[in-house]
Structure 1
Amino acid sequence: MLTAGLLVLSGCSAGDLGSSGDSGAGTTISFLADNSDASLSTAKGLADAFNARNTGVTVKVETRPQGGEGDNIVKTRLSTGDMADVFMYNSGSLFTALKPEQNLVALDDQPYVGDLDATFKSTVSAGGKLYGVPFGGATGGGILYNKAVYAKLGLQVPKTWADFMANNARIKAAGIAPVVQTYQDTWTSQLIVLADFHNVAAAQPDFAEQYTAGKAKYATTPAALKSFQRLQEVHDAGYLTTDFASTKLEAGIKHLADGEAAHYPMLTFAVGTIQSQAPGKMQDIGFFALPGDDAGKNGLTVWEPAAVYVPKTTTGKKLDAVRRFVAFVASKDGCDAMAKATTPFGPFLVKGCSLPADVAAPIKDMQPYFDSGANSPALEFLSPVKGPSLEQITVEVGSGIRKAADAAALYDQDVRKQAQQLGLPGW
């Protein structure tokens, strides 16, 4: 996953904020969510809004740890039949590790299924069955940019990598740093490589499948190798802020917001950091997808939201009550409750849901990629294979220490070890 505690919602246990069971007032169901501020606020917001609208069913929230500890607890509670009545957990590759066909209730027969975003559905499906609904909005990976700089220089949002690099040349000529990098926070060095995945998938649609099977490699797949080459090109062209090696995320955001730099490869969750680090500058910040070679295939790499699932141990009256709650989560009222509880980092993935009118411009800029269907899940939602050393490798490439081809080959070795530890065939 991209970075602990910043994006990935995972993890379960302890910290019960309520109890489950039947009471004289009706049925009480337990809803398990991780204990990050955003997840817990969202879960409480959903529970409170549902409880206010429904009689006979009460949702009470339980918490669990994040990260690996939480992952283990979720799997343990599922395997021992001790899972909460309904729970929130990752979509994508971590979802498949839950053995959904064995442990989860399929939701294909529910009336809201047709309203769910098709790309999201692919990350919560197994064996042809759907098992989850979105918990929150999507997060985009691409380029935050300074709109005031673009306006001053008469630049247009690029749809190809060539146009992006041409914009960078114009920006540098104007005495402004074209690209912020913040390698003191090493995880941020991965963004160009990871946000490029929509372009990889556009060029080779079966890459994720072949990559998981050990047949496609970064070093030998031209479209995937370009992800590392693009990172190298930005450095070699002299387009980085001078303090890229020693800068952290917060300082990088300030460079961008103050117009000292024009672009920052980043996730849209960083909007919250812009609001805290550069109050009053949000109107100057926009967002676009990382450009590829073909303007006609321009699209966004998406970090899909977590999902809400129902364990097979939920039966009878409890299952009926949970179905009502899950339908609420996958409705406009549910989206509105989540938006009220915490600031969305991207569009909701349920038809009929809209972002709040006052949401920040970079978040609004994501919506067209969803309206047109021009988006792809990040590779980590399609494959469990991600080597632990990627951020160190991308720091080297982005700093001019290692060439792209060498880095891609090194990363292939890194993921091979991880795939073998997972016991995947073909490695």
Structure 2
Amino acid sequence: MRSSTLAKRRAAVAAAAVLPLLLSACGAGSLGSSDGDGDATTIKLLVDNAPDNLQAVKQLAKDFEAKNPKIRVSVETRPGGADGDNLIKTRLQTGSMNDLFVYNVGSLFQQIDPAKNLTPLTQDPYVKNLDQSFVSQVTAGSQTYGVPLGSALGGGVLYNKKVYAKLGLTVPKTWAEFIANSKKIKAAGIAPVIQTYQDTWTSQLLVLGDFHNVAAAEPTFTKDYTDNKVKFATDANAIKGFQHLQQIHDLKLQNSDFASATLVKGLEMLATGKGAQYPMLSTVISGIRTSNPDQLNDIGFFALPGDDAAANGLTAWFPNALYVPKTTTGDKLAAVRKLLAFAASPAGCAAQAKASTPTGPYLVKGCTLPTDVPTITKDVAAYFSDGAQSPALEFLSPVKGPSLDQISVQVGSGITNAKTAAAQYDKDVKKQAQQLGLPGW
């Protein structure tokens, strides 16, 4: 369960931003073919009910069916969160999984025992089209099992470009430069760093979004952390996210209503220039498009800066993947492979882009972003193009405590200092690691 992680929150972002949810007609049923074609092969696809994922799947199926009239795609939705995780695991264990399903990548993918439950795709030609940064997230042993659904996204800082231009600021490459910019913004009477603790999950970005900097400074951190050899409270690099939260509060650089502000309020502040910088995921593009469409391209994105400008780069979150259970065989498997080949092609990326605004690059070779994507998307994609990105820790390690959002709120509110908070998080992490039965804990 990715409890309180940011990947889980993609659906929550849409809901909090009061997005129009196109959830009608999302039960099982064909998405475009005639029911009268008795020669058609029907494949059943299970997807979570997050609007972006659901809409992408529906459009993907529609465009695929148009090119493959002898194959029909029946879409079933499932809940997100723990309920969805349990349903996935139950169906795999009982041999009742749909012909194709959408699920997480990285550490959670490893927890569904892919070698036992999934069909390897390693030898399928389209796998060569997948970006290697994504392939590593869906590989177990020597086998690759998944194809991306949707675009990548970044965790960093959204910023108002007009405010930056007015004050003569440049995108910071170090944390010191970020603080210097923030002080100038404050002097201009604008909230420098937007914080929205009413939606507690948003408090985590200054910690989780800093992981590229941790990995750059300490390449062995992920393994040592998973093996219980390093701690946030005692590791000089890992603790910096908590220190940054404390510093923002101590310098009074956040908006005055940080304790009661919501994500929706934060996005409106950013779009209208009442706030200048918002540590956040690029997935909130759809929220800004809904609340402040005329200001969407006034917002840019930069990676959360660390101490070393030369190592500046993005902490990346990866899209979910399409997987095939071992119970899918015969004509159904052949049809599923055709759908996966379509998804891993420029035509498949284009289909998904019709349904949902990309939040970063599509991790398929040959796929290009539409020319009219928002500035945020282009900024995130540039880090991937430059190779200046690292996966978020949750994609590399199963160890993540469920209380990080509450702990982050306490630090950002001045209730707890960074050292104490990091120690609290280490205790939170230990409980979760022991529940997972990880060695060394």
In the TM superposition, residue 279 of structure 1 has moved relative to its aligned partner by 3.1
1:62 paired residue number? 76
Query: CA contact under 8 A between 2:152 and 2:317: conserved in structure 1?
Result: yes
Structure 1 gap ranges (5+): none
- In structure 1, give the amino acid aligned to 2:285: V
Q: Distance in 2 between matches of 1:403 and 1:74?
A: 39
Query: CA contact under 8 A between 1:15 and 1:64: conserved in structure 2?
Result: no
1:355 paired residue number? 369
The partner residue of 1:7 within 10, 14, 34 is 10
Q: Deviations over 1:136-174 (max 9, x none)?
A: 001211000010011011111111111111111221222
The partner residue of 2:308 within 276, 285, 294 is 294
DSSP-derived class of the 2:87 partner:
helix
Report 1:96-115 matches (<5 A).
96-115=110-129
1:146 paired residue number? 160
1:16 paired residue number? 28
Query: CA contact under 8 A between 1:231 and 1:398: conserved in structure 2?
Result: yes
1:255 paired residue number? 269
Q: Deviations over 1:184-239 (max 9, x none)?
A: 11111111101111111111122222212212211121110111111111111221
1:372 paired residue number? 386
DSSP-derived class of the 1:222 partner:
coil
Q: Distance in 1 between matches of 2:55 and 2:296?
A: 24
1:397 paired residue number? 411
State whether structure 2 residue 334 is matched by structure 1 residue 332.
no
State TM-score, norm by structure 1. Answer: 0.95
Structure 2 gap ranges (5+): 13-25
In the TM superposition, residue 247 of structure 1 has moved relative to its aligned partner by 0.8
- In structure 1, give the amino acid aligned to 2:192: P
DSSP-derived class of the 1:280 partner:
helix
Q: Distance in 1 between matches of 2:173 and 2:8?
A: 31
Q: Deviations over 1:236-262 (max 9, x none)?
A: 122111111111111111111111121
Name the CA shift for 1:36/1:17 in 2 (closer, same or farther; >3 Å).
Answer: farther
State TM-score, norm by structure 2. Answer: 0.92
Query: CA contact under 8 A between 1:17 and 1:63: conserved in structure 2?
Result: no
Report 1:124-163 matches (<5 A).
124-163=138-177
- In structure 1, give the amino acid aligned to 2:10: L
Report 1:84-95 matches (<5 A).
84-95=98-109
Q: Deviations over 1:19-53 (max 9, x none)?
A: 9x997323221111112222211111111110001
Q: Distance in 2 between matches of 1:198 and 1:225?
A: 13
Name the CA shift for 1:203/1:311 in 2 (closer, same or farther; >3 Å).
Answer: same
In the TM superposition, residue 112 of structure 1 has moved relative to its aligned partner by 2.2
Kindly tell me the number of residue pairs found equivalent between the two proteins.
422
Name the CA shift for 1:92/1:152 in 2 (closer, same or farther; >3 Å).
Answer: same
Name the CA shift for 1:8/1:117 in 2 (closer, same or farther; >3 Å).
Answer: farther
State whether structure 2 residue 41 is matched by structure 1 residue 39.
no
DSSP-derived class of the 2:75 partner:
strand
- In structure 2, give the amino acid aligned to 1:244: F
Query: CA contact under 8 A between 1:115 and 1:350: conserved in structure 2?
Result: yes
In the TM superposition, residue 6 of structure 1 has moved relative to its aligned partner by 2.8
Percent sequence identity is 59
In the TM superposition, residue 18 of structure 1 has moved relative to its aligned partner by 4.8
